Amino acid sequence: MARRAPGLLALLLLVAGSGLSAQELRLAQVPVSGRTGLDSLARLGFEVADVRMVAGQLTAVIVVSTQTERLLGSRGFAVAAVAGAPPPSALAADTFKVYRSFDKPGTGIRATLAAWAAADTLIHVDSIGSSIEGRPVLAVKIGDSGDSPARPNVLFIGTHHAREWVSTEVAMRLIRWLADSLPRPLLASRDIWVIPVENPDGYQYTFTTTRLWRKNRRPNADGTFGVDPNRNYPAFWGADDAGSSPMPGSEIYRGPAPASEPETQAIMAFHAAHPPVLAISYHSYTDLVLYPYGFRYGELAPDLTVFQALAGTDLQPGVRDSVPASTLSAYHPGPGWTLYTTNGEYTDWAYRAFGAFAFTAELTSGCCTPDSGFYYGFVFPDDSALVNHVFRDNLPLALAVIAAAGDPTATLGPSGLRPAAQRIESLWPETRISLAATTPAPFSLTVRTATGQIVTRNARADSLWRGRLRTSWRSDVSTDGARAVRVDGAGLAAELVTIAGAEEGEPSWSAGGTWTRTSDALVGRYAWYGSGNDTLTSPIVDLRGRTRVWLQFWTKYAGSGFALQQRGQVQFSPDSGRTWSDVAALAGSAPAWYPLRVDLPTGAGAAGGRVRFIDRGLPWWLDAVGVATDSTAVFQLLAAAGGADVSENPVRSDQVVISWAAGTTPARVGIYTFMGERLIATSVPPPNNEYVWDLKAGGRRMPNGAYLVVVQVDGRVFRRRLFLTRAGT
C-alpha cells in the first residue's frame, strides 16, 4: 500500500465501500490504452472479462455497479453499456429451461443430484464441506461407490465463479454422460469425481438477486461481500496486486488469508483425501484451455509437454468451438499468463501441491461474429442445444484426461499430441533441459563454445521445483557463447547448426514490411520486432547429414488472450523456400521472453532448410533463433583416453582415419550405414590401432550422410557417428 499515491488509496477505499450496490451489477465497456489500461483496471480491482475492438478502439468489458462506474468516470474512463448484451435484471428468476439454482425444490442442482443418486447405482453424492451460508459443497462420484487407492482420481469442477452458469451445466451433463456412456472398463479403473458447484452461495445469489455476482458470499469486515474463490488458494497467494486484489470490494478479492474461505478448505480437504492425477476446472468465458503456471509472465511448468499434449497447441488445439456464429473455431491453449496473471488460483495450487495436471477451461467465446449483433458474455443463452454444443466440444478433452490418469507418460491428447521425451528445450542463451523427474541432481553440462572451447559447468538448479514427470533445469550459458551442450549422465546432447538474433554481420534475413531490428533484445544488441501482417524469412541452412532437427527461438508478444485472431505463424521449408508448412502458431499475451522448441522432422538431411515467421497483426519479438540437432557429433572427439577417435568429423575429404587405444587382442572394426547395413567388417591385429576408410574404394564414391563406426577391442565397444559432408557428391 505504501507504494500507492494517496489519491489512488482514497479511490480504492471508495471501491471497497461499494458493496451496497451489489444488486445493480451490469456489464459495461471502457476504452483502454493497451496493456497499461488493462493493468490499471486489474489494479483497481476489476476482473477484465473481455477485450474487444469497438469502432477501432481497444475496449475492455467489465462488470460494474453504479458506484464503481462513477469511480471509473472520475479516473477518466468512459464507461458505456455493452451493445447487444442481455439485460441482467431480466434474468434474476429461477424459471429457465436449462439453468436451475442450487436450492430450487425438485429441479435444482441439489435436488437433481439427489434424484440421480437415488435412481442410478453409478452416481454417488457426498458433501465435502459447507459454504459460509451452510450449503453443502457436493462431490459426485461416478462408478463404484468405494474409493480405491489402486484407482487414480480424476476431478472436474464447475462454478468457482457464481455467474458462470454454463460451467455448472457442462459439469452436470458430464456426470450424466459418464454414468450413461463411459466405457465400463475405463469407469471401473478410475475414481472419477465431479463437483458441479464449488461456490453454492454465490451461485444461488445469482438466481435470487444479482445475475452477475462472481464471488462467494463472505461478509467482509468493511461491509462488502465476497471473496474470489479462485484467488483464495494457498499457491502464490497475494503474490502481487494485479493477479488478485487486497480490496474486499473487488471482484478479485483474495480474502484476508490463504484458504480463508470454507469452500476453499472443502476443496483442499477433498484433494488431500483424493489427490487427483488430472483435473479440469470449468469457467466461462473466452475460449481458452489454460494450465500452470499463471502467476508470473513467461513461467513454464516442468511438465509443459504433458499439459500441451492434452490442451493442444495453437497449431493443433485440443478443444474445438462449434457454437454457431462463435468468433473462434477453437480454444486457445496455453499457460495461464497468456490470458493474464492470477495468484491464489486453483490450477497452480493443484499442480504445485499435488502434481495434478490441472486445467482451466474457459467455456465458449462470449460470442459472436460482428454481423450477428449478438453478445452474451457470462449470460450464455438458456438453450439446451447450445449448451450441448459446449458440452460436446469439451468432452474429448475430458475423456483424454480420464484416459491419461492411468499413466500420464502415455498421455494422448484429443488432437493426437503426446508428451515429448526428455530433451533439451533451448540451447542458448539459456540451456533449458527437460529431464525425467527421477533424474538425480545435480549434474554437469559440457559446453562447446563458438570458438571451439570446451567448458564444463554445473547445471544451476534454479528451476522452481520438480514436476510430476519432468524436472526442468536451466543454466545461463550466454557468456559461454554455447554452440553445443551435452548433459553428462543423461544421454542428451544438442548442437546449434545456426543461430541468429538480428545482430549486425549475421547472414542476411529477409525482413518484410514492419519487421525491424529493435534494441528490446533478449541477448546481444538487437532482436527482431514485427507489428503488422508481414513475413520474416531466414537464410538457407544446410542440414545435410543432420538428423533430429529442431527450431529454437525465444519470443514475446503483446497480443491478448481476448483477441486470439492476432497470431504469429511459424513455417519451415526443407527446399529453400519452394514449399512451406506450418510448424507452430502463437496467440495470446506473452510480455516476458520465453523459449520454444519446435521439432522439424522434414528438416533432417535437408539441403535448403529455411524458417519464416508470418505476423498476423501480433506485436511480436524474436531473438536467439536457431536450428539445432540432437544428433551432434561435436563431442565425439572428446572421448576419454581409450576411446575410439576419427581424423575428422564431419568428413570433408576422401579418407577418414579411425583410431583407438591399442589393445592386446585384434580389434574388430565395423562400419554401417545409418540404416544398419554393414559396409565394412575387418580385423586389425595389435599393435596396429588404426583403420583407414577409403571413401573412394572400388571406384565408387561413398554417398554423403551419417554412418556408424563400431570398434571392439579387448571386450570394450566404441561407437562413433560419422558424417560425410564432402563437396561434389
Closer to Zn ion at the Cβ: 202 or 318? 202
Q: Closest distance between Zn ion and the C-beta of residue 160, in Å?
A: 6
Rounded-to-integer distance, Cα 708 and Cα 6, Å = 72
DSSP label at residue 19: G
Give the phi and the psi of residue 699 in degrees, each rounded to 5: 70, 10
Q: Closest distance between Zn ion and the C-beta of residue 515, in Å?
A: 37
Find out whether 627 and 549 touch, Cβ atoms under 8 Å: yes
Site string (407-446) toward Zn ion, x via CB under 5 A: ----------------------------------------
Rounded-to-integer distance, Cα 10 and Cα 3, Å = 13
Closer to Zn ion at the Cβ: 110 or 161? 161
Are β-strands 454-458 and 444-449 bridged in parallel, bridged antiparallel, or unpaired? antiparallel
DSSP label at residue 723: E
Find out whether 611 and 682 touch, Cβ atoms under 8 Å: no
Binding residues for Zn ion, total number by CB under 5 A: 3
Rounded-to-integer distance, Cα 487 and Cα 493, Å = 6
Rounded-to-integer distance, Cα 42 and Cα 317, Å = 28
Burial class of residue 714, CB neighbours in 10 A (0-12, 13-18, 19+): middle
Q: Closest distance between Zn ion and the C-beta of residue 420, in Å?
A: 30
Q: Closest distance between Zn ion and the C-beta of residue 163, in Å?
A: 8
Which among 292, 596, 314 has a CA at the least distance from the CA of 432? 596
Q: Is the peptide bond before 442 cis (omega within 30 degrees of 0)?
A: yes
Q: Closest distance between Zn ion and the C-beta of residue 345, in Å?
A: 10
Closer to Zn ion at the Cβ: 337 or 473? 337
By CB under 5 A, what part of segment 146-165 binds Zn ion?
161, 164
Q: Helix, strand, coil proportions of the chain in percent (round to 5)?
A: 20, 35, 45
Closer to Zn ion at the Cβ: 159 or 431? 159
Closer to Zn ion at the Cβ: 282 or 557? 282
Beta-bridge mates of residue 644: 660
Closer to Zn ion at the Cβ: 161 or 720? 161
In three-state secondary structure terms, 624 is strand
Closer to Zn ion at the Cβ: 161 or 612? 161
Q: Closest distance between Zn ion and the C-beta of residue 202, in Å?
A: 11
Burial class of residue 184, CB neighbours in 10 A (0-12, 13-18, 19+): exposed
Find out whether 721 and 656 touch, Cβ atoms under 8 Å: no
Query: Does residue 544 interact with Zn ion by CB under 5 A?
Result: no
Burial class of residue 452, CB neighbours in 10 A (0-12, 13-18, 19+): exposed
Closer to Zn ion at the Cβ: 391 or 553? 391
Q: Which residue is nearest to Zn ion (CB)?
A: 283
Closer to Zn ion at the Cβ: 49 or 132? 49
Q: Closest distance between Zn ion and the C-beta of residue 282, in Å?
A: 9
Which among 433, 661, 614 has a CA at the least distance from the CA of 513? 614
CA distances from 182 to 126, 190, 224, 725 (A): 21, 11, 44, 55
Can you read off the three cell numbers belonging to residue 566? 492476432
Q: Which residues of 600-624 are buried (b: 16+ CB within 10 A; e: fewer)?
A: bebbbbbeebbbbbbbbebbbbbbb
Q: Closest distance between Zn ion and the C-beta of residue 162, in Å?
A: 9
Which residues participate in catalysis according to the annotation? 362
CB atoms within 10 A of CB 240: 13
Site string (274-293) toward Zn ion, x via CB under 5 A: ---------x----------
Site string (439-458) toward Zn ion, x via CB under 5 A: --------------------
By CB under 5 A, what part of segment 160-199 binds Zn ion?
161, 164
Find out whether 433 and 416 touch, Cβ atoms under 8 Å: no
Q: Where are the alpha helices (DSSP H) in 239-295?
A: 262-273
By CB under 5 A, what part of segment 584-623 binds Zn ion?
none
Q: Closest distance between Zn ion and the C-beta of residue 141, in Å?
A: 24
Binding site for Zn ion (CB under 5 A): 161, 164, 283
